[in-house]
Structures are given as structure tokens and as C-alpha cells.
Amino acid sequence: MTPRRKTHQVMVGGVPIGGDAPVAIQSMTSTNTHDIDATVRQIRTLAEAGCDIVRVAVPEKRDTAALPSILEQSPVPIVADVHFHFQRAIEAIEAGVHKIRLNPGNIKDRKQVDRVIAACRDRRIPIRVGVNEGSVVERSDKDRRAREKGRLASDPRGEMIRLMVAILEDYMRIFDANDFHDVVISAKSIDAGMVIDAYRAVSERFDLPLHLGVTHAGPPETGRIRSIAALGSLLAMGIGDTIRISYAADPIHEVEDAKELLCSLSMRARVEPELIACPTCGRIEIDLIKLVADVRRKLVGIRVPVKVAVMGCVVNGPGEAEGADVAVFAGKGRGVIYVQGEQTRSVDEAEILDALYDETVAFAERVERGEASLTGAAVNIVPPDPLPRADGSIPLPVSRG
């Protein structure tokens, strides 16, 4: 892991972005913003899942009119997403939003752009600007578009990154002319490799905080691979101050996956159980996939980062589960449960789920009372005696040497 690059810090409400601040998680509501109840409900759900900042779309005046009520009820800072109508930006700023998402290039009248910047400067509200691969090529000027398309044909990746940086430089000149520096920037693409290269180039050119994201990522089933490949790589390089994993799905999945990414990189502390499980193989003699899914659902609600391991055999399980606070090794008809390396219970297969849950809750409560500590390191687990095969025979003892 490369140390985080230092950037200019901005404040989005009470959440710092950049500098030495932790990487913040963002998402966006999928409701009509003027539907106040639905929007507030979704904001609260996202916040409870670990979202630090939520963005809402304000394409119409009735959306900005709803902002005061939404802001009053929101547990997290709110960003107003503005694209073409500068008046929506002014209305959102006057309503008290904590940040504006705006691209100056989408507003043709420079005086209107200056008015938005001045309003944000007066209220100390940051602005996020960005470029997307799909919109950087000139569209109005046919001659310029032809030239840019020609250069892209000869060097697609290099020219695309050059265009992204050039457009951001144009935006920054506007902000500099207005003596406004609380800017967050982004440079997105659908291609994970392009995202990595673009943000590396942008990070070398600007010292502003970076909002990481992959555009048009798709549904979670495919989008999470595309997103984690790009964002995980950048974060490991020390690049990125706030992230949004974007899916064509319920935004709760964006927050869950972003949170897991940061936890996996030790960039955010866990506040709930971490579930690990062995891969499926021919040695497994229980329905491991179902058991893991049931355990995952059962653990929801525990607010202690207990590491729980579900292992389908006693061959590799003990070694793979070292470091787990609570573990179960399951075989045909039986499950043996350990708590920090000590065998505590041996139960029938039908009792594994409840027994594992009870042991996890009991251990979490001991941690909360200060009577036990989370492992955080390897635990020496002596394998249980071999469990019987499906045919009732006993396998050879597991080597413990």
C-alpha cells in the first residue's frame, strides 16, 4: 500500500474530503427528489449502511424546493446534482446544500457560471467537477471534433487522458479567475484500465481532492468487478479521497461494496462481523453455500467486528480459519465450533446455524463488556477429530505437524 497523497482539504458539511481525512463513501438517491418522504427514507437507509455523503438530483425547481425539508431531516451532508440549469444550482445553494455537482462546460453563459461560483464561495460550499470519457470529445464545433477524433484514432488511451486533463485545466482556470479553490475533481470511464490511468494523470497534475468512480458500471453482478478493479488499484496507490461505486440497482449495494472495499484495504474500521468461508470443493459434505448465506443473514444486527469463519471440512479449515474469533468446522451431520481457538461445542448439522450465532453473540457481548478482545491476528486452532464421511466411515487423522 502506498501512503495517501496529500491534497487540499474541503468540507462537505461536517465531512472532510482530502488532506488527512479518511476516504469518504458517497452514493446517490434513485428517488424523485421532490418526493420528500421517499428521498429522506432512502438517505437514512444509505447513512445507516455506512454512507458519509449522499447526492440528490435537482433537474426541476420542485426538486430544489424540496431541499430545505430534506436537509432538515438528513443525517448526512447532501450534494445537489446540477447539470444544465444554473438557476437550480443557485436555488440549491440558497436551500443550504453542502456541496454542488456542476460542470462549467454544461452552462454556456460564463456569467451564470461565475454567479454559481460566487454563491458557493460566499457560503463556503465546495463544487465537484468532472469529466467522463463519453463526453470529452467536442460536439458543437465540427472541425475541432474531427481533429480530436483523428487523434483518438491514432492513440485512443493517451489522447483520451490528454483531453480529460485539458478540460479539467480549462475548468480550473475559471475557478482560479474567481479565486475559488474548494474544488473536488473526477475523471471517469467505463473502462477500468482507463480509470486507473486517467486518475494517475490527474493526481500528478492537480493537488485537489479526487472523487473516484467508474461510469456506466452496470449491474452489481458485473459492475462490482469493474469498479473494484479500478478503485481498489487507485486506493492502493494512495490516490483517492472519496468514492462512489455506481450500479444500475438499489444504491444500498453501492454503499455495502464501497464499505467492504475500504475495510479490506484497512482504510476503514469494521463495525460489524466479518464473515469468511472456505471455497467449495469435493471434500465438503454439507450445503456450505446455504449455510454461509444463512450465517450472513443471521449476523446482521451485531455491531462488533467479530471475525466469523464457516469451514466445510477439517482438512484445510483450521489453517484457513486461524485469525477467526468464532469458527465452525462442518462435516456430514456434525459441526464443531471454536471460540478463539478453543473448542466450545459439537452440534448436529441442524443446530449449526443457531449454535454459531449464539456463540458469536456471547463473544461479542464479552468484547463489549471488556472481558475479551478481538483477535486481529492468527489463532492456533487444533483441528477437531475427523468427522465421519457421508458413508459413515472415518477418514484418516488430519496431520497436526
Kindly list the structural domains of the chain, giving each domain's residue range(s) and its CATH number in brackets, ordered by start.
10-264 (3.20.20.20), 274-368 (3.30.413.10)
Sign of CA dihedral 104, 110, 114, 116: negative
Cβ partners under 8 Å of residue 203, min gap 6:
5, 210, 239
**For strand 183-188 and strand 127-132, is the pairing parallel, antiparallel, or unpaired?**
parallel
pLDDT along the chain (401 residues), means of 10: 93 97 97 98 97 97 98 98 90 97 83 94 96 76 79 86 92 95 95 96 97 90 93 98 96 96 94 88 84 94 93 71 87 87 89 96 95 72 55 47 35
Q: Which parts of 178-282 fold into alpha helices (H)?
A: 192-205, 220-236, 252-264
Q: What distance in Å separates the CA atoms of residue 335 and residue 291, rounded to the nearest whole number?
A: 11
The answer to whether 286 and 314 are in contact (CB under 8 A) is: no
Q: What distance in Å separates the CA atoms of residue 105 and residue 80, rounded to the nearest whole number?
A: 17
Give residue 174's Cα distance to chain centre.
31
Confidence at residue 381, expressed as pLDDT on a 0 to 100 scale: 56
Cβ partners under 8 Å of residue 153, min gap 6:
none
The residue behind cell 489522447 is 159
Neighbours of 76 (CB within 10 A): 22
Q: What distance in Å separates the CA atoms of residue 284 and residue 288, rounded to the nearest whole number?
A: 7
Helix or strand (DSSP H, E) at 27: strand 24-28
φ, ψ at 229 (rounded to 5°)? -60, -45
The answer to whether 228 and 261 are in contact (CB under 8 A) is: yes
The residue behind cell 450445503 is 287
Write out the three cell numbers for 318: 483450521
Confidence at residue 396, expressed as pLDDT on a 0 to 100 scale: 43
Considering the entire predicted model, what is its pTM?
A: 0.87
Confidence at residue 132, expressed as pLDDT on a 0 to 100 scale: 86
Of 48, 52, 76, 53, whose CA–CA distance to 272 is shortest?
A: 48
Confidence at residue 332, expressed as pLDDT on a 0 to 100 scale: 78
Report, in this order, helix, strand and coil percent for the chain, each rounded to 5.
Answer: 45, 15, 40
**For strand 183-188 and strand 342-348, is the pairing parallel, antiparallel, or unpaired?**
unpaired
Write out the three cell numbers for 133: 470519457
The answer to whether 101 and 81 are in contact (CB under 8 A) is: yes
Write out the three cell numbers for 330: 462442518
Buried b / exposed e along 135-168 (16+ C-beta atoms within 10 A): ebeeeeeeeeeeebeebbeeeeeebbbbbbbebb
